[in-house]
Structure 1
């Protein structure tokens, strides 16, 4: 009894000390992550300015060097502040692989990209999958690209969803599966991907049947919307129009062309017959 009585205060003290040390660890991680995100924000701002003007000058224009150097320094500082930050790795890899930044090294960029992908960053997974799609006689790049793209799809990356949907439609390196392609285009379109919205709408106009998972979702959405309750039937034209509107809202000219074409076809159908 006395031993139990003496043990309780010590056990409480140990638990309090453990909780306090865990709190300090969490606070330190939060502080490092916050500092890293500040550096990433500054680096991204500089890189965004480069992307804004790079179409109007040479890729190795000297006027871009200060901005590129600023972006590189801030991404490196972000990694120093938080070595586990995948976004810092990803953006630093893009600088090495894509831009003419002083001190750029393709091997370093590739290593950073692979590290970020292995750590689960969706942008890095998608980027690596796209780069592995390039033919390589020494590496089974198609299988590896598909592996990384699937990992990015698991995190619902819109670009990866669109690309995987295109792979399923064409049957390139996988068995052709239109239902899976429709699902990929649908999820990417929900995230505002213009290309996926165009592909989804085009397939709907071709009369492709929706998979059961999407038809259930559409029925729930219709029943929850009072305006659509009276017309709960599957209407591929209206669904396609909705997809083209998503593409048009994203700034895609092809979406506007499809909307115009649908409007013209509707006018032809509604016009009175001028025949004898």
Structure 2
């Protein structure tokens, strides 16, 4: 009797494991197909962005590309309705382009859905739009909520904008340390404007938060304590700032080159004295 029960339980587990495997394989297959549609739509939209600055936004020559993008993003959602990337890109089409069948209400709804489902780009875009298009404490707090969500995922534009919010003390308490943290992380993700902002604050004497320095928080020991124990010298703010300006210059930001030139001139002046 016992052997029979064990055998049945074993068979049931095998059936459940097989069903789970089939379900996972189906999800993977749908997700892969959805990403293929998204890639096709994104390539069509990329072609629109390549020429849109040289023609009218409603130029008929853009319509085939816009329609291709829209069709593919919609197909991606049909294949996988949980895909946040498809929702985000379809919302952009409705909100920013003169696509056939354009509806801003649909675009806004898709953007909110994608943001609430955790898409970092959608969260940034929604937060930015709430700050620009609306006024009032309620919308400011909503904007901050979505920007913070996107920044938690290290979305560079959200980090930069959130840094600016902390730096200005706009709808939150002014916090230079938090602003520096955001700018530094955004710079690390390739945001040239954030690199300039970070370098400028370092030049003015502000210090990087301890969580960003070489000796990170480990087992409750702060970086400052670790430096005292090891004799590690305090990081040179000028050199840290120079690294940020070099990052900006590598990304093609003219201000990065100007700041580097200014630092070089200041060093030459000091050596000449």
Q: Above 0.5 in TM-score?
A: yes
Give CA deviations for 1:94-149 in whole Å, capped at 9, x if unaligned.
Answer: 00000111111000000000000010000000000000003536882101101111
CA contact (8 A) 2:187 2:247 kept: yes
Displacement of 1:250: 1.6
Mean alpha-carbon deviation: is it higher for 55-64 or for 24-33?
Answer: 55-64
Displacement of 1:177: 0.6
Provide the residue aligned with 2:255 in structure 1. Answer: 254
Displacement of 1:212: 2.3
Displacement of 1:217: 4.0
CA distance in 2 between counterparts of 1:218 and 1:240 reads 19
CA contact (8 A) 1:219 1:232 kept: no
CA distance in 1 between counterparts of 2:136 and 2:200 reads 37
* TM-score (normalised: structure 2): 0.91
Provide the residue aligned with 2:72 in structure 1. Answer: 74
Alignment of 1:90-239 (within 5 A): 90-136=88-134, 140-217=138-215, 232-239=233-240
* TM-score (normalised: structure 1): 0.90
CA contact (8 A) 2:156 2:186 kept: yes
Provide the residue aligned with 1:51 in structure 2. Answer: 49
CA distance in 1 between counterparts of 2:38 and 2:18 reads 30
CA distance in 2 between counterparts of 1:267 and 1:138 reads 50
Count of aligned pairs between the two proteins: 262
Give CA deviations for 1:216-238 in whole Å, capped at 9, x if unaligned.
Answer: 54899xxxxxxxx9984311111
Provide the residue aligned with 1:226 in structure 2. Answer: none
Displacement of 1:215: 3.1
CA contact (8 A) 2:211 2:217 kept: no
CA distance in 1 between counterparts of 2:154 and 2:231 reads 33
Give CA deviations for 1:34-81 in whole Å, capped at 9, x if unaligned.
Answer: 000000001101111111111111111111111111111110111011
Give CA deviations for 1:167-226 in whole Å, capped at 9, x if unaligned.
Answer: 111000100010111111111111111111110000000011222222354899xxxxxx
CA RMSD of aligned residues (A): 2.0
CA distance in 2 between counterparts of 1:176 and 1:20 reads 55
Gaps of 5+ in 2: 219-229
CA distance in 1 between counterparts of 2:171 and 2:25 reads 47
Displacement of 1:259: 1.3
CA contact (8 A) 1:33 1:85 kept: yes
Provide the residue aligned with 1:225 in structure 2. Answer: none
CA distance in 2 between counterparts of 1:45 and 1:23 reads 33
